[in-house]
Amino acid sequence: MRISTVAVCLLVGCSGGDLSLPDSPDPVTLRIVSGDGQRADAGDLLAQPLVVQVLDSDANPVPDAHVEFGFLGEVLGAAIDPALVTTDEEGRAEAFVRLGSETGEHMIIARVAGTASPDLSARFSVVAVSSGGGGGKKDDKGRGHNGGHDDDD
């Protein structure tokens, strides 16, 4: 009888609202990791993906958050793949961008899905240039690369 009484007391003592499991962290910040400021020929893919990171209030990564990428306004011929991304264990999400057919600056917004908080969005600026107009990869001094050939040839 003594064991049954102890078991019942343990069960009753642990029931109710006393037991709390850790909640998934709430995202509070979305920051750009890489990909901002790229240039490429109009209609081409950017050399690097756009990458953001979602963080909680303690600056820890938030996995499994949904991040949407989209152009600000209508951009003919442009595409983002994927447009909806789930963050990885490091709280990161990335998307690949094909620039529109018109030259000029394109703005891309990344935001945590289902929220309107400005802290949960980030704005990328990329530039579409005319073919041969300085797009593509650049070295650390800002010089363009022409398929592995010297630009001075």
- CB proximity list for 110: less than 8 A, separation 6 or greater: 30, 32, 50, 52, 67, 68, 69, 93, 95, 121, 122, 124
Q: What is the structure's pLDDT at 151?
A: 44
Provide the strand spans (E) within 7-148. Answer: 29-34, 39-41, 50-55, 66-71, 79-81, 84-86, 92-98, 104-112, 121-129
Domains defined along the chain, listed by start: 30-129 (2.60.40.10)
Instruction: Give the residue with greater pLDDT, 27 vs 32.
Output: 32
Q: What is the structure's pLDDT at 13?
A: 47
138 pLDDT exceeds 90? no
